[in-house]
Structure 1
């Protein structure tokens, strides 16, 4: 038995370079497969699998709209996130905060496939839309101007000359009253060169 083992080991030593080459080739093939799999999955966007549309029946309670069939338990599917889940049950992604709070999630960005989430009965949070200011401040036509709250040399230059980059001209004419162009005190009388 020992002689057979000695013969086998002697044979392996003679073929050591061949074995090393075969093992090296195997390592290269395995690494190649791993690299291919990595790069073939990098650009894939994971989207949640389409599920039957959840019907949201909104009921008015205490002057607020609330989904009538809540609370329910939701099983997280691959690729889902709290915003999408909130849109499904509330038709408003802004309720993701309520879902995170109801489930005591320490990191709302990390939910896993198969995780069960309680969808609480909460009022629908509508999107907050801030209307843009459509009213422009009045144009300054005089050569004298008294600073009001919220004014800056830039804003004054825009209203007086139609060009905010003209603020150095206003500052040069008023250096005695405005030593620092970043700070313009309310009530300061400015001369606007024409």
Structure 2
């Protein structure tokens, strides 16, 4: 038999071949679905001496957190300390090499430490900025076009006017000592 005659005979039985392949696909999908549902656990029994509450486990007087989908060290710290800033303590006690990556079902020891709160620093300058009334202004260290526009016009969005009037090539780059013309 040559190739041409084989192809002709296959063409005649094309519908039968398609039906057989379709049945094979259905059987394979059925086996996969059955194996998937068999693999699901219907319940978990905990060893004695261990209690759980959601994703929290207490064992030998120590608190452990079992990581769930969507957890970050920040959210775990918020749960136990009411402050996300304690994520550093959790990462340290668990010796995590990459604190940005924790895995689902990973067990984290929750250390018994004080809750950390952000510290608020008071600026040495507390008051309103002095308005600019002249036609020119000399830039000082720490200035930005936004702040200069607020002081000169009372509107930070007028920084664009400063850029256009002074033909600044890069509005993100101004230096102390630059003299700016303030359009009025």
Normalising to structure 2: TM-score of the pair? 0.51
Structure 2 counterpart SS, 1:87: helix
Aligned residue among 18, 21, 36 for 2:19: 21
Question: Is 1:165 the counterpart of 2:160 in the alignment?
Answer: yes
Q: Which residue of 2 aligns with 1:3?
A: none
Query: Which ranges of structure 2 fall in alignment gaps of 5 or more residues?
Result: 1-12, 34-51
Alpha-carbon distance, 1:22 to partner: 3.6
| CA distance in 1 between partners of 2:93 and 2:65 (Å) | 15
Contact 1:153-1:184 within 8 A present in 2 as well? no
Aligned residue among 81, 85, 88 for 1:94: 85
Q: Which residue of 2 aligns with 1:150?
A: 142
Normalising to structure 1: TM-score of the pair? 0.49
Contact 1:157-1:170 within 8 A present in 2 as well? no
Structure 1 counterpart SS, 2:53: coil
Check 1:97–1:189 CA distance in 2 against 1; reply closer, same or farther (3 A cut): closer
Alpha-carbon distance, 1:104 to partner: 1.6
- Please identify, of 139-148 and 24-33, the stretch whose mean Cα deviation from structure 2 is larger: 24-33
CA RMSD between the two structures: 4.6
Matches within 5 A, 1:27-66: 27-28=25-26, 30-31=28-29, 51=53
Question: Is 1:124 the counterpart of 2:119 in the alignment?
Answer: no
Contact 2:135-2:183 within 8 A present in 1 as well? yes
Contact 1:94-1:127 within 8 A present in 2 as well? yes
- Please identify, of 93-102 and 152-161, the stretch whose mean Cα deviation from structure 2 is larger: 152-161
Give CA deviations for 1:77-127 in whole Å, capped at 9, x if unaligned: 6447333432333222222221122112234322332x4432223231114
Check 1:171–1:154 CA distance in 2 against 1; reply closer, same or farther (3 A cut): farther
Contact 1:73-1:116 within 8 A present in 2 as well? no
| CA distance in 2 between partners of 1:29 and 1:136 (Å) | 76
Query: Which ranges of structure 1 fall in alignment gaps of 5 or more residues?
Result: 1-14, 36-49, 55-70, 173-177
| CA distance in 2 between partners of 1:87 and 1:30 (Å) | 46
Aligned residue among 82, 103, 118 for 1:111: 103
Contact 1:153-1:170 within 8 A present in 2 as well? no
Q: Which residue of 1 aligns with 2:62?
A: 72
